Amino acid sequence: MVMDGLTMEVGAVAAMRYVKDGIKAARLVMQHTKHTLLAGEKASEFAISMGLPGPTNLSSTESINKWGKWKDDKCQPNFRKNVLPINNCGPYHPTNSLELSEEICSNTAHMQDINSLLPHVGLHSHDTISMAVIDKMGRVAVGTSTNGATFKIPGRVGDGPIVGSSAYADNEVGACCATGDGDVMMRFLPCYQVVESMRLGMEPKSAAQDAIARIARRFPDFVGAVVAVNKKGEHAGACHGWTFTYSVRTLAMEDVEVFTVLP
């Protein structure tokens, strides 16, 4: 997802396969269509029709090995809930079904044990990159790119392409970027909240902390973080469930400076 804070134009793609450069595809949506979000196979077709390389096999040796181990572990952990599987990896049936077989019931404890021990979202189970930029003219833009959560249910769309959740920009105020448990965070549009809080006079630190606190009050076990930057370039981060780091670089700096945010 990319957003121009001057024009408020947005381009995004979701559930796109066979095209490596999702952020480039999102920019093409913004620049060359009147739409905001394209999804699935047709998003891939659009990206390729606009000149991006593809279709491409995006699997790596590492990802194939990780997937194979997950299959060997009976497709656990996964993101399903209130269901029981047949033959380890499905099909799945609701737990309140009146026709559950003994084979399904035998898997109940196994699923509950694994899913209770292994978090779905953590330091090594997602790969979001989100960036906010202010140019020499004061124009603000944001972009977010991600492969999504590891072992997600096919078809899942997280917060990455959702405007106001993974990122948001407004030249009049500033910008916000987010990462973490997108399935929870997208319910609160934290980056939109951050920018609107700064519009009302909050400093970046207070705006970031407020947005995270709103989520934590309802989902105390969630993992996530936001970074807020106002139009003057003042910035701060807030997080919950982990120690978060983000980096900043200005024209006057020779290299990036890394900031650590404690939960």
Residue 124's pLDDT is 53
Q: DSSP class of residue 152? A: P
Rounded CA separation 155/220 (Å): 27
Query: Under CATH, what is the fold of the domain 123-261?
Result: Glutamine Phosphoribosylpyrophosphate, subunit 1, domain 1 (3.60.20)
Residue 105's pLDDT is 45
Cβ neighbors of 25 (< 8 A, separation 6 or more) are 13, 16, 19, 38, 43, 46, 47, 50, 52
Q: Are strands 10-14 and 37-39 parallel, antiparallel or unpaired?
A: parallel
Q: Is there a contact between 179 and 126 (Cβ–Cβ < 8 Å)? A: yes
Would you say residue 68 has pLDDT above 80?
yes
Question: What does the mean pLDDT of the chain come to?
Answer: 90
Residue 8's pLDDT is 98
Percent of the chain with pLDDT over 70: 89
Q: Where are the domains of the chain?
A: 6-58, 61-117, 123-261
128 is catalytic: yes
User: What would the mean pLDDT of 59-82 be, rounded to a whole number?
Assistant: 93
The residue among 211, 180, 171, 177 whose CA lies nearest residue 194 is 211
pLDDT band at 96 (very low <50, low <70, confident <90, very high): confident
Residue 106's pLDDT is 47
Q: Catalytic: which of 7, 108, 128, 150?
A: 128
User: What would the mean pLDDT of 235-258 be, rounded to a whole number?
Assistant: 95
Would you say residue 104 has pLDDT above 60?
no
175-232 pLDDT, tens digit each: 999 999 999 999 999 999 999 999 999 999 999 999 999 999 999 999 999 999 999 9
6-28 pLDDT, tens digit each: 999 999 999 999 999 999 999 99
Residue 143's pLDDT is 97
Residue 101's pLDDT is 52
